[in-house]
Structure 1
Amino acid sequence: LGSVPDEFMRRKLRILSTKRPLFFIEANNAPNHLSLAREARLVQVVIRLLSPEIFSPRLHHLSTVFVAGNAEFLRAIESVHFNLKGTPSASEVEFLTFLLEQQLVKSPTNGRSAIPDARPPAEGLMVGHTTFSALPHLAQRTERHLEELLSNHTHLLGHSLDALADKTTLFTRRIQNAWKTRHFDAFAGVEVRELLDHLVGSLDRMDTIQALEGSFLSAFVRHQPQYQPESCVVVSGSSRTGLGILGFHCGITDVVIPDLSWSYEQCFPHIHVVPLTESLALDAEAMIEKVEELCRRDPAWRQRGAMVLNNPHNATGRIFAEEAIQKLILYCLENDIYFIDDLAYQNMVPANELPEIKTLRQITSELVWLGLADAQRADRVISVHSVSKTDCSAGSRLAVVEIRDPQLRQQFEQANAQIKPNLAAILISYLFYRSSVQAVRT
């Protein structure tokens, strides 16, 4: 249900549910008293999806979603969510908590709350054989008293919000100009506190969100110059989400991977595994032979197939030989096959010194420079660069995907646009990357 049904429709659905095995999913932010879960015998067959908008209309761009309903269904949803997107973004949960605890957004004034009532069914104090609801009533009186105290300070909160709104107008023209050039650091030189105030004051403005993404990309590519800024897309949900979009929404349905890799079957419909060597090294010849076999079986395979490589490798921890990677890159480019770099652990090895392990894009650029690879065909290399583990911000669920093929990138962007951005993760990563290269490296 995408909208709140009226009384007549709720009654009709309740009656129908007694005759048919119906299950209801509410994606309408319905207040508690208007939810089907309040209807007789429906509480176990209703799943409620609630966005932060239940706290304030200004929060409708935030990505966190609350799921309420039958515990068994919630466990199944949690399992599938982990497989497809990983754990929920810790930064977004903390950001929403911060906004609510600091009372930086106004609660909706029309209608009752949509926050599920999780009050325990306390029966109060027992006197003889009579049960009085003394404890719940006392709690309610205390709650009302606290609400009265808080309301006395509402005008102070309003004054703070007005100040934030004034700051928002100062950035508007700068933001609009920034996005004319797509990726420009609109907040260069802005102090952290002032930037946070601006973001809080304009949470409901899409141009602010776009400017933050653009500023993050601008800072990111300064540290990763091998990427083309105009070919990069910010993905909220980390590399798992980026790979899943490629596999389920962009037509790359079949991938060839080295054995002992993590669960790529969650990202691509069809997986073809090639064993490593006895020393757990990358077997480039066997990878190429597997692709040749698939193409012989189906000449159209190269249109939907790709190789995927994770280096350093999860789960063996091995750093694959650059010569083997070069051989795979040259083969894929010569045969118009996509080669995807699952870059989740860039330069991460158990060593005392900071290593530099070349990415697929860096190696490809060198091959083009040496005249060994064609520059146009080099667009078949796709990079899915996670910032979560590489930059010690695990749990933020954020990645940058570089796709140089314009048609494929357009498909990717259309699917990615359906995902709410992880604003806090983007903000934190932007503040990190706008530091100097030396500061980021150390």
Structure 2
Amino acid sequence: MREKTVYVCQTCGYEAPKWLGRCPGCGAWNTLVEERRSARPEKERPASPAIARPVPLAAAARPPAERLRTGLEEFDRVLGGGLVPGSLVLLGGEPGIGKSTLASIAAARLAGAGRRVLYAGGEESEEQIRLRLARLGVKGADLYLLADGRLDALQEAVETLRPAAVIVDSVQTMRHPDLASAPGSVAQVREGTAFLLEVLKPRKVAALLIGHVTKEGTIAGPRVLEHLVDAVLYFEGERYQQYRVLRAVKNRFGPTNELGLFEMTESGLVPAEAPTKLFLRERTEAAIGAAVTATMEGSRPMLLEVQALLVPTLFPVPRRSATGFDLGRLNMLLAVLEKRAGLHLIGHDAYVNVVGGLRISEPAADLAVALAIASSFREAPVAAGDVFIGEIGLSGEVRPVPRLSARLAEAARLGFRRAFVPPAAGGLPEGLVPVEVRTVREALEAAFGR
């Protein structure tokens, strides 16, 4: 085989014939790495597949394929109902967060349901994989192990076993037979994923690919890797906390705003019980600087506690810090409270935290954040039975939010008594008293008095 040398950017995948200090593709410095590639002679290359012909839409219509349900409700929920035959799902997360544990349990559930599953690991030996599965209590005659990082060995195993699903742990350790570069390089990751796509999709084999992340929190390898697969899931959470969050940032066969919650126990990951009230278990009633809001995570309402702390500072530029909340939006809310509500916050450091490690990305939590800040500033708690839902504009007005009825119904079910909502909120569930507020100043007066 002939070999050629190229220089590949490890950030964006740009290829150059010679080394460059700065990548022309993404502008990053010192990211081009030398890679040697083997090119097959023309006589060794496989024959081109038959050219596809266009067909009418009516002729191409077929009943949807039955999804492979793993039995993990939170996992199937994020996928949109289970794995689709022939789909490639990329699961990313920090080292030690539980990616292999989640994949192992999903593989065991599929094998227990009578589906043949192949677990291919390029990082561990068969004995190591077996010991990890035994620790999790995984058993199943239909679960096969392959401790080989070569993609051609994986292809041979798929052709022999004809499994319903394949777990690849991890995609950065697999080696393409035609590339001489080291496993984990951009070329290996990109070409290896394309190789799996060509092998698995025609055979209707669902694949779950485990991917490592970089220090920036993105999946290692170029962004083209995320374009090749059908779904991209991120497994998040603190390694030393018991709760894990599974998010979908791309899904061709389901919604991308669903969220799955898992609890790490001694026997492995299990779906969290009562996830809608999970983050209110340790809430202290009548706490200063705390307020509750209702957010929508896909089709499920979630009640979260927002905490704020204001501390006087002697420095000319006060400090602003936000955990689980957008820092730019926090600065905007502080400016609105200063200008429209008369709170003199310019001499205070402001800290905002969303309890439980979740991140709020929708503006429906603005009213709760504003009330938590005002509570800390005035040293006065809000009522324990109040929930705050609404977006705040630059003029201080409280704007409506979508799917308010579902949020309020969940708040009423969990025992909240008053709901601070925008005007014309419509009918509220029984037992929940509406407090319609048009501006943030009205909300402060209703919550704390004049």
Same fold (TM over 0.5): no
* TM-score (structure 2 length as normaliser): 0.28
Hey, which of these two has a bigger chunk of helix by percent? 1
Hey, which of these two has a bigger chunk of strand by percent? 2
* TM-score (structure 1 length as normaliser): 0.29
